[in-house]
């Protein structure tokens, strides 16, 4: 990811910011400029998600690329937020703890780094409640 794009995406990554269509009530993450149901009649506003949800499905990553090899095994899950959107995120727990339907909450964690002295990326991961 380029540095300018990385900095533009920080509010979404740090605060789970998305959008909400006031016309039909749907929530979107990542943010959208247009509601796919209401089209131009929809009124889209910014929305900060609570960061609470449940695990829909998950996978245990045992063999990863060099950048993530120190983290293995780790859990990658699809989390459905209370407001409705689903997103892919890493879970901060051991693979044995995870179950489908498990309640989770968003936590602020290090996601990665570019080398020893490069940019450190932070963002939202999820932990059991």
E strands, 24-73, are: 27-28, 44-48, 52-61
> Would you say residue 4 has pLDDT above 70?
no
**Burial of 57: CB neighbours in 10 Å, binned 0-12, 13-18, 19+:** exposed
pTM of the model: 0.83
| Amino acid 65: pLDDT | 82
Residue 39: its pLDDT value, please? 85
Of the two residues 65 and 126, the one the predictor is more confident about is 126
Q: With contact defined as beta carbons under 8 Å apart, do 121 and 108 qualify?
A: no
* pLDDT tens, residue by residue, 34-48: 999 998 888 999 999
pLDDT of residue 2: 60
């Amino acid at each position: 990811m380029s540095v300018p794009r990385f900095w533009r995406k920080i509010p979404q990554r740090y605060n789970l910011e998305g959008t909400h269509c006031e016309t039909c009530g749907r929530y979107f993450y990542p943010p959208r400029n247009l509601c796919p149901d209401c089209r131009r009649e929809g009124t889209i506003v910014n929305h900060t998600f609570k960061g609470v949800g449940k695990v829909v499905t998950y996978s245990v990553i045992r063999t990863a690329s060099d950048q993530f090899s120190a983290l293995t095994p780790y859990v990658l899950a699809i989390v459905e937020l209370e407001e409705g959107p689903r997103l892919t995120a890493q879970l901060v727990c051991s693979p044995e703890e995870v179950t489908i339907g498990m309640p989770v909450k968003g936590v602020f964690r290090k996601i990665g780094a570019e080398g020893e002295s490069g940019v450190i990326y932070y963002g939202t991961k999820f932990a059991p409640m």
